[in-house]
Structure 1
Amino acid sequence: MSETFLMEWVMIWLFDLDNTLHNASLAIFPEISANMNAFLSVYMKKNGDVRLSTEAANQLRIEYWKRFGATLLGISKVLDQRARDFLEAAHRFYDLKSLLSAERGLPVLFRKLPGRKVLLTNSAYRYSADILKLLGVHQFFEKHIAIESMRVFGKFEPKPSGKFFRKLLAMLKVRPEDCVLVEDNIHILKKAKAMGMKTVLVTRYLDRGRFSQHSYPYPSGKRQAGRPAFIDLKMTSVRRLTHYLERFC
């Protein structure tokens, strides 16, 4: 690939984190699910009960995810003053490093990948910052936007909110067609494509058997065998991005 081509690169990479850059389904999501359930069992008790049962809390967590797109949104609507407490409790780990599973070579990828890079995650800031450092890639991102910052007019608007995406584009001072969103969530990618962005679906960590009972159930209900029209590129590993740069010119 020519040096001139790389120097003229103007695209902005928007990277998801969980199940895109690392395998969150393996151990981290189950831990987050358990933390969420523990929080809900205490703060969502009903009819004078001491606490919700683990099963009831788990059902409520999944209900919020399906209804609002993120459990946090359900919490913010019902217990707005507890939303930050919920985020902190959900992402509390005894030993995060021991739970992390990811491909080798990510720092090499980001070093070679031309263009600006922004992290967009529906997870908490402190947790996602810790993951980036453990992966050895934190220094490559010019911005790190976690769910705490995904507010529009004071309300949480996480991915795939069109309101958030419009705010993001204005903040970055870019056109949607100059952005490439790299994600594992097809609903988020579909929204981004409708707004004019280019889209990359990463499938390496999409294991529905592990997903379904944890924090973020696989959004489509089943794995996609082909490549939907709103996906520009489908790949098993983000490490292959540098092989397809010409597609995003």
Structure 2
Amino acid sequence: MRTPPSRRRRPDIAGGKPVWLFDLDNTLHRASHAIFPAINRGMTQYIVDALHVDIDEANRLRTGYTLRYGAALLGLTRHHPLDPHDFLKVVHTFPDLGSMIRHERGIARLIAALPGRKIVLTNAPETYARAVLAELRIERLFERVIAIEHMRDRRQWRAKPDHAMLRRAMRDAHVSLKEAILVEDTRSHLKNYRRLGIRTVWITGHLARKPHVNGVPTRLPGTGRPHYVDRSIRSLKSLRLGTRSVRWKGRKPGQ
């Protein structure tokens, strides 16, 4: 008799020879502190200037395309005459990038201590991604950066959480899906890629903090531990084997 899917044990995150797929923003650093607000302002202004619309329409297009396609760029290139390379360059260039970044203490040591290969998988452009990694002093720890330019196929731009894009990117990197572990803050990406058999880690430490009512912390809507998450962690230090602060779905290894 086959075991129902809901009763099957989740695979151990640390088993075998893992290939870590790290998202960048709000995973390796706290982009919500200053970078995300700046990117959103830059995108909105670019849309205003390029498409000659008012700021309310520009915000509607930016947020709508992000929700629909996973990245605003995809909707803009599919529905408007816009230069995607110029768009990416303009909205992701920050002369004061170093002062905008917030990150965990000892991040290089934390990443280096993880067994297996490490790859950055981000919907951001490569130049920006490498600039952030350089500021964090961890670029050398990753064998490659798969940025949004590399996700494009012959027909169109693609981005997370596109299935075909990920399969192709993993083939190019010689990564088996069963070996991959996605560390990501965006739940929709985790949900979509868990269906491909990838193990998933949801990092929540850079997300919005829980509000307080009469001094008592409350849970934000939709921030419970989803069924498609193998591990839920607050910080990268919890990826270390044997760390007690990791919250497991199901039983812990060895139980």
Q: Which category describes the TM-score, using the shorter chain as reference length?
A: 0.7 to 0.9
**Partners in 2 of 1:64 and 1:124 — Cα distance?**
17
User: Do the aligned residues in 1 keep the contact of 2:20 with 2:181 (CA within 8 Å)?
Assistant: yes
Quote the residue 2:50 is aligned against: 43
Alignment of 1:128 with 2:126, yes or no, is: no
Quote the residue 1:242 is aligned against: 240
**Partners in 1 of 2:66 and 2:95 — Cα distance?**
25
Aligned length: 222
* Alpha-carbon shift at residue 192 of structure 1 (Å): 1.4
* Alpha-carbon shift at residue 179 of structure 1 (Å): 0.7
User: Do the aligned residues in 1 keep the contact of 2:200 with 2:229 (CA within 8 Å)?
Assistant: yes
- Within 5 Å, give how 1:37-76 maps onto structure 2: 37-45=44-52, 52-76=53-77
RMSD of aligned residue pairs (Cα, Å) = 2.0
- The runs of 5 or more residues in structure 2 that have no matched partner are 1-14, 211-219, 244-251
**Partners in 1 of 2:47 and 2:89 — Cα distance?**
13
Quote the residue 1:160 is aligned against: 161
**Partners in 2 of 1:71 and 1:131 — Cα distance?**
21
Quote the residue 1:224 is aligned against: 223
From the two aligned structures, give the one with the greater helix fraction.
Answer: 1
User: Do the aligned residues in 2 keep the contact of 1:152 with 1:163 (CA within 8 Å)?
Assistant: no
Q: What amino acid does structure 2 have at the position aligned with 1:14?
A: L
Alignment of 1:13 with 2:20, yes or no, is: yes
Q: What amino acid does structure 1 have at the position aligned with 2:86?
A: D
SS class of match (1:152):
coil
User: Do the aligned residues in 1 keep the contact of 2:48 with 2:58 (CA within 8 Å)?
Assistant: yes
Which stretch shifts more, 92-101 or 137-146? 92-101
**Partners in 1 of 2:221 and 2:27 — Cα distance?**
18
Structure 1 runs, 4 residues or longer, greater than 4 Å off: 244-247
SS class of match (2:44):
helix
User: Do the aligned residues in 2 keep the contact of 1:9 with 1:114 (CA within 8 Å)?
Assistant: no
* Alpha-carbon shift at residue 56 of structure 1 (Å): 2.4
* Alpha-carbon shift at residue 117 of structure 1 (Å): 0.5
* Alpha-carbon shift at residue 244 of structure 1 (Å): 4.8
* Alpha-carbon shift at residue 233 of structure 1 (Å): 0.3
User: Do the aligned residues in 2 keep the contact of 1:189 with 1:230 (CA within 8 Å)?
Assistant: yes
Spell out, residue by residue over 1:31-76, the C-alpha distance to the aligned partner (whole angstroms, 9 max, x if none). Answer: 001111111001112xxxxxx2223222221121122221000111
- Residues 103 and 163 (structure 1), Cα distance of their counterparts in 2 relative to 1, 3 Å cut: same
Quote the residue 2:36 is aligned against: 29
Quote the residue 2:173 is aligned against: 172
Spell out, residue by residue over 1:130-173, the C-alpha distance to the aligned partner (whole angstroms, 9 max, x if none). Answer: 10011111000001111111112342121100011110221122
If the length of structure 2 is used for normalisation, what is the TM-score? 0.82
- Residues 87 and 244 (structure 1), Cα distance of their counterparts in 2 relative to 1, 3 Å cut: farther
If the length of structure 1 is used for normalisation, what is the TM-score? 0.83
**Partners in 1 of 2:175 and 2:93 — Cα distance?**
35
**Partners in 1 of 2:197 and 2:136 — Cα distance?**
30
Quote the residue 2:116 is aligned against: 115
SS class of match (2:83):
helix
User: Do the aligned residues in 2 keep the contact of 1:125 with 1:146 (CA within 8 Å)?
Assistant: yes
Quote the residue 1:90 is aligned against: 91
SS class of match (1:40):
helix
- The runs of 5 or more residues in structure 1 that have no matched partner are 1-7, 46-51, 210-220
- Within 5 Å, give how 1:129-208 maps onto structure 2: 129-207=130-208
